[in-house]
């Protein structure tokens, strides 16, 4: 007896749903804003997707907000296989790209072809940062840990000896996606420096 195509499709979708549950196990270096514990990837993805809706007025005009939210929801799924990489560890970030691409092939490949292609395209768009939507999504992804570290007296900046110059390099990415958010992130960095929570090189 053959399985109806709609059943095959449902099974594929449920296999993907069960797989992405693992995102809750991937613990990031950044903490929650109250500093009580480290956040996981699923929490981070939800948080930045919410930021997209709340801060949409600071995005470039005419942006497709639904696509931004979708990108943010899928952008870290590859870390199920690849793990979390500290953004200030440049060699590790460069080495991770190939691992993440293989992870994207495997995890999105669990879905029916049409959905696999759509979600994989969103992940690629986010990584390539060519469209206004991708640049805004990346800006939100970058500002979230800056907010957390600022509210935790330096947080991972202090723990891993991150310099102000390194953080300001990431602020440039925020500025590309939203000049308003970039200016705010710069203010936060300068305030963190003045409070002694972030050191210059």
Q: What is the mean pLDDT of residues 136-148?
A: 97
**Interval 161-171: pLDDT, tens:** 999 999 999 99
- Output the pLDDT for position 3: 67
Taking every pair of C-alpha atoms in the chain, what is the biggest distance, in angstroms? Answer: 71
Locate tokens 């409070």: which residue? Answer: 195
pLDDT of residue 5 exceeding 80 = no
- How sure is the predictor about 95, in pLDDT bands with cuts at 50, 70 and 90? confident
d(CA 198, CA 201): 10
The domains located in the chain, with CATH, are 5-194 (1.10.3210.10)
**Interval 39-66: pLDDT, tens:** 999 999 999 999 999 999 999 999 999 9
| Number of neighbours of residue 88 by Cβ within 10 angstroms | 18
d(CA 72, CA 174): 15
């Amino acid at each position: 007896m053959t399985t109806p195509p709609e059943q095959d499709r449902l099974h594929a979708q449920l296999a993907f749903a069960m797989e992405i549950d693992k995102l809750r196990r991937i613990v990031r270096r950044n903490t929650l804003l109250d500093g009580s514990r480290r956040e996981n990837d699923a929490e981070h993805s939800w948080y930045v997707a919410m930021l997209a809706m709340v801060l949409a007025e600071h995005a470039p005009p005419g942006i497709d907000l639904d696509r931004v939210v979708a990108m943010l929801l899928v952008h870290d799924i590859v870390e199920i296989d690849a793990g979390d990489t500290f953004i200030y560890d440049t060699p590790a970030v460069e080495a991770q790209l190939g691992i993440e691409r293989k992870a994207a092939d495997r995890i999105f490949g669990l879905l029916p072809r049409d959905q696999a292609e759509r979600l994989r395209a969103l992940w690629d768009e986010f990584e390539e940062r060519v469209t206004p939507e991708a640049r805004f999504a990346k800006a939100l992804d970058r500002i979230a840990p800056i907010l957390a570290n600022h509210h935790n007296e330096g947080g991972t900046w202090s723990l891993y000896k991150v310099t102000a110059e390194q953080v300001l390099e990431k602020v440039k990415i925020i500025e590309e996606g939203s000049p308003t958010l970039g200016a705010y992130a710069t203010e936060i960095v300068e305030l963190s420096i003045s409070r002694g929570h972030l050191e210059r090189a």
